[in-house]
Structure 1
Amino acid sequence: MITFLLRALLYVASAGVGLIVADLLLEGFRIQWARWWGFALCIVIFAVLQSILSPLITRVTDRYAPALIGGIGIISTLIALLIVVLLPLGGLRIVDATGWILGAVIVWVVTALGTVLLGRVFLRPRPSAERARRDR
């Protein structure tokens, strides 16, 4: 249970970093820092949506459009961004096509890298578990 919560926390943190990086790199991708609570809520909602949409889109794509299976992460990121921007929370605005397209790619890449790298740092196997695997 603790590992699950730690993974969820790491995913939310990497999603937040991805959104901030997109804000720093793109003119059309704007975090409304005056509404910091809205942005914090956007991060949580984005992470939850992303974790729900990815398996759902995988099933639909596998069934109806197998050629798109490689772009699942970017597609689910784009849909999650669309939903978060449309919510009346404030905190995040995307105003042009470059912000939408490159923003989705940047958020997807940073979130994926952040999840993998932070997971390797914080979710290392215990020495006893590692020893048990080697002894098999």
Structure 2
Amino acid sequence: MVMFFVRALIFLGSAAIGLVVASLMLPGFHLDWRSPLGFILAIVVFAVLQSVLTPWMSSVAQRNAPVLVGGIGIVSSFAALVVVALIPGVGLSIGEPLWTWLAAPVIVWIVTALATVLLPMLFVKKEIEEHRADKR
């Protein structure tokens, strides 16, 4: 159960880093920093959608178009960003220029993937090793 919460926190942290990096890099990608609730809601909704859409889209692609399986991460990032941007009150908006809609999922996907690998190595490696040692 502890590992589930650790993984969830790592995924939320990686989603936050991905969204922040996209916000800093892209002119039409905006996170509302003035509203902490909207900012947190954007991160949580994106992370939940991403974690639900990726396996679902992967299974659909595996059955119907196996050649698309490799790009599912970017496609699910795009879908999650569209949904989050459409929800009123969530602290994320995507606008002009139009290429922002294409670049944002790629940036968020790359940064989130890197953060998902690097965050455990930076913060929880020692705790995980201690937890595993305690179980033995």
Q: After TM superposition, is the score higher than 0.5?
A: yes
Matched to 2:67, the amino acid is A
What corresponds to 1:126 in structure 2? 129
Unaligned regions of 5+ residues in structure 1, if any?
131-136
> Is 1:101–2:111 an aligned residue pair?
no
Structure 2 CA distance for partners of 1:64 and 1:13, relative to 1, 3 Å: same
CA distance in 2, matches of 1:42, 1:123: 28
Structure 2 match to 1:89: 89
Q: Percent identity?
A: 47
Aligned alpha-carbon RMSD (Å)? 1.8
Say whether 1:77 aligns with 2:77: yes
Total equivalences in the alignment? 130
> How far off is 1:54 after superposition?
0.5
Matched AA of 1:106: I
TM-score normalised to the size of structure 2?
Answer: 0.88
In the alignment, structure 2 segments of 5+ residues that lack a partner are: none
Distance 1:58 1:30, change over 3 A: same
Q: Stretches of 4+ moved more than 4 A in 1? A: 127-130
Q: Cα deviations across residues 36-94 of structure 1 (Å, max 9, x unaligned)?
A: 31121010011011011110000111111111111010011110111111111231100
C-alpha distance in 1 between matches for 2:58 and 2:70 = 9
